[in-house]
Chains A and B, each alone.
Chain A
Amino acid sequence: MLALWVRGVLARRFMRVAGTAAGVALTVALLATLTLFLLGAGASMTARAISAVSIDWQVQLIPGADPDAVAKVLETTADVRATHRVRYADIAGLEARTGDTTQTTGPGQAIAFDDSYSKDFPAEIRSLSGSADGVLVAQQTAANLHVGPGDMIVIRRSGGLPPASVRIAGVVDLPDADSLFQLPGLPPRAAPQAPPDNVLVLPAEDWRKLFGSPDTPHPESTRLQLHVRLAHGSLPADPTAAYAFATGKKRNLEIGLAGQAVVADNLGARLDAVRQDALYVSVLFLFLGVPGIALAIALTMAVTMSTAGGRRIEQALLRVRGAPMRRILILSAAEAMVASIGGIALGLACALYFLGFVPGLRDNSASAGTTLLLVAMAGLLVGLAAYLLPAWRDARLIATGQARRAVIRTTTPLWQRLWLDLALLAAAGFFFWQQASTGYQIVLAPEGVAATSVDYKAFIAPALFWTGMALLTIRLSGRIIARNGRPLRALIAPVCGPLAAIVAAALSRQASRLTLGIAMTALAISFATSTAIFNETYNAQARVDAELTNGSDVTVFGTTDRPAGAQLAALEQLPETAAAEPMQHRFAYVGADLQDLYGIDPRRIGQATTLSDAYFDGTAADVLGRLASTPDGVLVSEETVQDFQLQPGDTINLRLINARDHQYHPVAFRFVGIAREFPTAPRDSFLVANAAYVGRMTGSDAAEYVLMRSRGDPTALARQASTELSFDPPLKVADIGEATRLIGSSLTAVNLRGLTTVELSFSAVMAAASAGLMLALGFVERRRTFSILGAIGARPGQLAAFLWAEGVLVVTGGILFGLASGIATAWMLVKLLTGVFDPPPQALSVPWLYLGTMLGLLIASVAAAVLFTRPRPGHDAERLRDF
């Protein structure tokens, strides 16, 4: 009996089974890809985070400690890949004579790396000019002293030692200076230590001669550190677990060293920072992924429900012939199993296909098997529930004679009488206001503390809003359809012509079936719209962030000696250049604090880079306008304003190097505004002034940097600029892609792209399926009705009018309610997930192309449903016999 039933269903009701199988496939594929993504995201973030750490541990020896003994403890405690000794010595200052002038600097440090250091830690030192061996001077120090390769400088040593002269062999950049010069052993919440302004890198032998025995350093002025690179293979994939593992190892080492050394754990610090990002990924999964899964399940239920009429009649016939409820449920379960297994196979095949090319999924292939097995079981449950729940309800509640009824009129549902939709929307508004107005933080991972927390209350508002909007869609669309008024007839008139009145009358009695289709379509469009807008806004902000770090699409970095601005004319002529603007990068003392000073043309800088309102205290246009109208104006950071208690209009005396004597001289500026961020600037403190004024007051209008806007391909522009500037190696060309990779080590653009690729693909499919598939299955179920219409004289065009009218209703209602709900949801998500954005967006970015494509797919799916399922001549007689 079971096999016979299944064979019969497959032979005669294939579309019905295929519809449910498609729904299950969608659910399984989405669930599998999202789960794999979530698991893979953590592993990918950990891998990217640790790859950005140059020195895992910096072990600073206590004076008198035995370096060999410390190294031995290191070897036994951790899986060490490389250890190098680095020596530091404080110096009182440096001095250089050029022409008739003598330049001196303040205090600094002289360091020495042991042999093959740069092989194991290549990111620590970068040669800019001259030799990579011998005495090397840091770029900023070279600028301060106005020296280059071949020049002599005098080291003023601490501790009463006489000055010593050395010859400069090369100029270097120390990209990781913050870490390289940190003081290990500071308490976790201590203020960050600024790296020294003046640095000299000496060969180990020269350092020993100048600063004494390396193994017995003077505690007052010299230090020895062991720089350690660990093997990362044993680190857990999850960032939180990796953090716990790394910090545990560090504590274990500290116990083993027993007061011989203190440890700076750069690896642990980096993983500590990534933990919060990993939590944000989980939150994003919950915000963006869970609604998609819920929608896929609801769609499976709705699709199955759209063919419930036929099953109800079959069950009624079975009951008439004496089948007990148990037998009816078994037969339903058999059909459900067939649909589910087919859907699971198709869904898993899709997931495996995605596994191959969606970023963030392939990192996780090791645990894919177990995940896919669990997902398959979930798919089976969804399929069984979609069939058995309605079957059980029908078998219990519906009398046999009622089964043939196609128009079941019910009383107003309880939720409508209770106005639950409006109550949910009001509650959503309240929770949203409460969350967004109190400066909450949705994810909290306190620095150095293992425990983390997520404020799950933030999910309440969007969940209530989504549900409320779905119910409101059902209420409003149901009311419009059931009333059969002018709006309904006007809506379908273009496709029904003179039949509009009779078609509207027919539709008005099928309001509950149609509103289900409209609600599902609206939910799918809402989901697709909110995800797409959130994704577009995130990408736009990620680009702004990358542009902030890099300066512009492409930035040419030079020095005061070799300013990139000298090549401005050539750079402007490059084919890919849309705009190029010079920008000065100098240093200025604010009191005793050395800060970066950027000299710009406030009226033109916006042509070459994006200046968001979030960068300033006030709008970008206002603040830059004030700067432009105040020649001696300066923008300073909030930190500086607080430190020096500045008021707008105050005069600030900064000390800048003058090009004529290479000495620092005070220059008066007027404080006109606050800059929180600025392209290429560090986050903590910097200054922005008019380039013309800086040039006049320092005797040099050289622009060290050039910011360049591309016509659309930053990589191509960078390539062209590199080729153009190849004769001048110190000029460094950087494009926005490099910055994206750099900042991408935290909440990565790549990882989120994996999530949104999956989301956007599925949401477009679900939008199309919810409208097209449901309509098609509904049409197939009512083929006999359409055959009767044909038999009593309806021409093909008139038959199509009935179908098109349903399509128009579902598409129009779905798009109207879906877009409204989607845009509101996206706005809510962006507000609630402010922590993800850096800087916060000024407005939502709308992906018109995606939305257009998605709506096009939706309309195409409805058109396909009508065209493929409309009754064709010659088959009417067979269907007329069906009961």
Chain B
Amino acid sequence: MTDVLVVAKSVRREFPDGRYGTNVVLRDVDCRIASGARIALTGPSGSGKTTLLHLLGGLDRPTHGSIDWPGLGPFDELRPRHVGFVFQAPSLFPALTVLQNVELPAVLAGEDIQAGSMAARLLEAFGLGGLAGKLPEELSGGQAQRVAMVRALLLGPGLLLADEPTGQLDSRTAQLFFDTVLDCLEGSGAALVVATHDETVAARMATRWIMDHGLLFTEPWRGRMP
């Protein structure tokens, strides 16, 4: 098994803009993510961070270029398996309880063996133990985002992509939350890519990538974070 999980070559993503125009969100992006990587993806709003995460997670297809996932096992019809995703917007299934939401990926994957106890342990670890029976609409934004993270971690992803995971948390909770995430990934070989505006979160990652007007800068950054 190779150490490289994802390879993106000359990736370009365009969206239709108006009747005839196009909006180029990503321009010739090249990158690779190795196992165990800790990457902070920063950049101004609208620079293309979320689009890049979607592409890296297989949720979207590039207009030009290619993305391969050599280290993430077989494709599951549409996208690579073993990718965990935490979205910026609320993403819990509204008709399921917190525990059912967390167990859902395991149920869908047919891997419900011990998923229940693992889910309960993870919820406890993230300070959500008392919320297992609640519905998403009964949670605060921050609680919902932490539940989404637990859901993403349940099956032990090879690559975890998180889009502003601390956006709705106060700084102390964010700190604790991020500690727990890193603890969970420790020793698993999983790579973590976090799109964030939070400097404290970004500072704890080994690598920082910067997006600006659709361009990705993966070289070590020396200046002030945009």
Interface residues of A, Cβ cutoff 8 Å to B:
404-409, 498-499, 502, 505-510, 785, 788-796, 798, 873-874, 876-877, 880-883
Contacts and interface: CB of A to CB of B under 8 A. Distances in A.
B152 to A, nearest CB: 8
A791 B107 contact: no
Nearest to A406: B94
B110 interface: yes
Contact of B90 (A404, A507, A876): A404
Contact of B95 (A510, A788, A791, A881): A510
Nearest to A799: B108
Nearest to A788: B91
Nearest to A873: B78
Given A873-B78, A876-B60, A792 B105 contact: yes
Nearest to A882: B89
Interface string B56-78: 01011100000000000000111
A576 B105 CA distance: 68
Contacts of B76: 793, 795
Given A506-B95, A509-B135, A789-B93, 16 more contacts: A406-B94, A407-B137, A499-B107, A502-B100, A509-B95, A788-B93, A791-B57, A791-B87, A793-B76, A794-B108, A795-B78, A796-B78, A798-B108, A876-B60, A877-B60, A882-B89
A407 B97 CA distance: 11
B35 interface: no
B101 to A, nearest CB: 9
Contacts of A408: 137
Nearest to B91: A788
Interface of B is mostly: loop
B57 A405 contact: no
26 contacts: A404-B137, A406-B137, A407-B94, A407-B135, A407-B137, A499-B107, A499-B108, A502-B96, A502-B100, A505-B95, A506-B95, A506-B96, A507-B95, A509-B96, A788-B87, A789-B108, A791-B57, A791-B59, A791-B85, A792-B105, A792-B108, A793-B109, A795-B77, A877-B54, A877-B60, A883-B90
B151 A792 contact: yes
Contacts of B152: 792
A409 B137 CA distance: 10
A874 B137 contact: no
B108 A785 contact: no
B95 A796 contact: no
Interface residues of B, number: 35
Interface in B24-71: 50-51, 54, 57, 59-61
A789 B151 CA distance: 12
B95 A880 contact: no
Contacts of A873: 78
Nearest to B61: A874
B93 A506 contact: yes
B15 to A, nearest CB: 8
B81 interface: yes
A793 B107 CA distance: 10
A502 B96 CA distance: 8
A538 B85 CA distance: 63
A785 B77 contact: no
Q: List the 5 closest pairs (A to B, CB-CB), nearest first.
A: A877-B60, A406-B94, A506-B95, A877-B54, A509-B95
A502 B101 CA distance: 10
Contacts of A795: 76-78, 108
B137 A793 contact: no
A499 to B, nearest CB: 7
B102 to A, nearest CB: 10
B125 interface: no
B104 interface: yes
Contacts of B91: 788, 791, 880
A793 B60 contact: no
B23 to A, nearest CB: 12
B90 to A, nearest CB: 7
A514 to B, nearest CB: 11
A509 B97 CA distance: 10
A247 to B, nearest CB: 69
A791 B56 CA distance: 12
Nearest to B111: A793
Contacts of B59: 790-791, 876-877, 880
A880 B92 CA distance: 12
A792 B104 contact: yes
Contact of A505 (B50, B51, B96): B96
B107 A881 contact: no
B215 to A, nearest CB: 20
- Between B85, B95, B135, B137, the greatest number of chain A beta carbons within 10 A of the residue's beta carbon is seen for B95
Given A505-B100, A791-B87, A405 B94 contact: yes
A880 B94 contact: no
Contact of A881 (B57, B89, B96): B89
A278 B142 CA distance: 69
A8 to B, nearest CB: 13
A788 B107 CA distance: 15
A407 B60 CA distance: 29
Contacts of A508: 95
A785 B94 contact: yes
Contacts of B94: 405-407, 509, 785
Nearest to B82: A793
B129 to A, nearest CB: 20
A877 B79 CA distance: 12
A407 B151 contact: no
A492 to B, nearest CB: 14
Nearest to B89: A883
Given A406-B95, A507-B95, A509-B95, A880 B54 contact: yes
A793 B105 contact: yes
A404 B89 CA distance: 12
A883 B81 CA distance: 26
B155 to A, nearest CB: 8
A876 B108 CA distance: 17
A498 B93 contact: no
Contacts of A876: 54, 59-60
B51 A502 contact: no
Nearest to B135: A407
A502 B61 CA distance: 30
Contacts of B155: 793
- Between A408, A507, A508, A795, the greatest number of chain B beta carbons within 10 A of the residue's beta carbon is seen for A795
A874 B55 CA distance: 10
Contacts of B50: 881
A404 B135 CA distance: 13
Contacts of A498: 107, 110
B95 to A, nearest CB: 4
A502 B104 contact: yes
B137 A792 contact: no
A788 B57 CA distance: 13
A469 to B, nearest CB: 28
B57 A407 contact: no
Contacts of A882: 89
A430 B85 CA distance: 61
Contacts of B151: 792
A535 to B, nearest CB: 42
Nearest to A501: B107
Contact of B107 (A502, A509, A790): A502
Interface in B103-124: 103-105, 107-110
Contacts of A405: 94, 137
A794 B105 CA distance: 8
B14 to A, nearest CB: 13
A880 to B, nearest CB: 6
Contacts of B100: 502, 505
Contacts of A507: 95
